[in-house]
Amino acid sequence: MLEVLNDFLSGKVLIVLIVGLGSYFTLRSRFVQFRHFAHMFSVFKDSIRSSGGQLSSFQALMLSLAGRVGAGNIAGVGIAVTLGGPGAVFWMWVTALVGMSSSFFECTLAQVYKRSDGDGLYRGGPAYYIQHGLKLRWMAMVFAVLLLVTYGFAFNGLQSFTVTHSLENAFNIPVQYSGIALAVLLGLVFIGGIKRIASVSDLLVPVKTLAYIAVTVYVIISQIELVPGMLATIVKSAFGLEPAFAGLLGSAIVMGVKRGVFANEAGLGSAPNVAAVASVKHPAAQGVVQAFSVFLDTFVICTCTALLILLSGFYTPGFEGDGIVLTQNSLAAVVGDWGRTFISVALSLFVFTCILYNYYLGENALQFLVGRSKVALLAYRGLVLALICWGSMQNLGTVFAFADITMTCLAFVNLTALAMLIKVGLRVMKDYDEQRKAGIHQPVFDGSKFADLDLDRASWPTAKPAVDAQPQGAPELLSTQR
């Protein structure tokens, strides 16, 4: 029953949601991801600057990449190629391309409706823009519960399984031992809160990403003469035009979209939770930065993994095995046995930072649901660490299926909310575009121009009290609004 439900939701519903609504957002925004593509690099450079004690846009980006650049970039791509053939990579690209517009709007709205948490930091995300933008408290609660279940629990179990079995394959370390060690290290970071999580991500994300890209690029350059032909094979296979993979057309589309969404998370409603914590001058600037992170995740890192696998000579149509083993053996076929060790170490770093990201998403959802309860927070931390140990010893198929189902439900709620709030997102984008056209390098958000919106004046000092800002009968979430 779990497999049937998963096939329907993630094999049909998810494709329509991600590609369909992503295309809609792209058209309504006049192809925002293309218009602002060159601008993304300058915004990324500006985001590195300090924010006076608050989390900077760069730190939010690193935290976001901590989640996006995870097991999906190694194991997920391997699974996509195994089950869907080279054509799955093309559909991962398509998913990311339209997903960049979805990510722009969800992260922009997260900034618009963010709230000060009373400790000098911010909280936000889809639950907040659903509550304060749509006035639908019940829908916000549904999203928060799904976020807690999907990231706080399901994805953490999946990430734990991935890294412990990789270490077992490379070093013969029993999964129960590596699972316990992983839980202990993570627990030490959890107790430091979002600032410690962001600090660890600042250190590990650039290191793990650049090291992984460097090794995979070395493999690609060493066989550069084969790259044009392989890229042609990817495109042909995506449309069933390559004879060796003609029978995988349906699987290529399904696996490309599923694993693409799992890797870059555009439209799921996860990235907005960390995008909201940044201190920025204009909400759309953070939307641009987060759209850039989708590009980095899929078009750079996932493509590196795909070409590594397809150029190695190890992969053949009909390969049977999991994505981790495929990637490990593919690198080992080119550079020698140390390639397996490198993939295991890289995957361990990817998963470690990814779980930190997942943990924060669950914590953010928990605070939205129950407020700032220390008891609830301690219970959540303990349960997450227990599930990390449990997940390290579970069957991959079961964990993946459960994660796919909850991920699809999460995407459905978030994308529905985005479609309902698209006019607000377009207004904010228009304000940003007009300031840039006027020659302003770093546009500034004037909340007084959006007095009809329920903005938090502690987050946007220029905001005026919104008319009917608080839905009748709904409790206020933060003390700064009382």
Q: What is the CATH number of the domain that holds 126?
A: 1.20.1740.10
Dihedrals phi, psi of 116, to nearest 5 degrees: -70, 135
- What is the predicted pLDDT for the residue at 32? 93
- What is the predicted pLDDT for the residue at 396? 56
Q: How many domains does the chain have?
A: 1
Instruction: Tell me the one-letter amino acid at 133.
Output: G
As a whole number of angstroms, the distance between CA 34 and CA 29 comes to: 10
- What is the predicted pLDDT for the residue at 71? 65
Residue 306 falls inside a structural domain:
yes
Residue 241 falls inside a structural domain:
yes
- What is the predicted pLDDT for the residue at 469? 43
- What is the predicted pLDDT for the residue at 197? 81
Given a cut of 50, the residues of the chain with pLDDT beneath it are 468-482
Q: What sign results for the dihedral spanned by CA atoms 273, 278, 283, 287?
A: negative
Give the position of tokens 């009373």: 118
Helix 338-370 crosses helix 374-391 at what angle (to 10 degrees)? 150
- What is the predicted pLDDT for the residue at 284? 94
Adjacent-strand bridge partners of 54: 51
Contact by Cβ (8 Å): 364, 125:
yes
Q: Would you call 317 helix, strand, or coil by DSSP? A: coil
DSSP sequence for 202-237? HHHHHHHHHHHHHHHHHHHHHTGGGHHHHHHHHHHH
As a whole number of angstroms, the distance between CA 372 and CA 326 comes to: 44
Instruction: Tell me the one-letter amino acid at 235.
Output: V
For the chain, counts of helices (H) and of strands (E): 24, 2
Distance between first and last Cα of the chain: 47
As a whole number of angstroms, the distance between CA 21 and CA 16 comes to: 7
Residue 156 falls inside a structural domain:
yes
For 296, the token pair is 């980095």
How far is Cα of residue 65 from the mean position of the Cα atoms in its chain?
A: 7
Domain that holds residue 411: 1-12+41-46+55-434
- What is the predicted pLDDT for the residue at 318? 67
**CA neighbor of 235 nearest in space, from 91, 339, 343:** 91
Strand runs labelled E in 5-45: none
- What is the predicted pLDDT for the residue at 391? 75
Residue 464 falls inside a structural domain:
no
Residue 476 falls inside a structural domain:
no
- The model carries a pTM of 0.85
- What is the predicted pLDDT for the residue at 83? 82
Contact by Cβ (8 Å): 118, 359:
no
β-pair type (115-116, 122-123): antiparallel
Give the position of tokens 């439209």: 267
**CA neighbor of 266 nearest in space, from 96, 31, 91:** 96
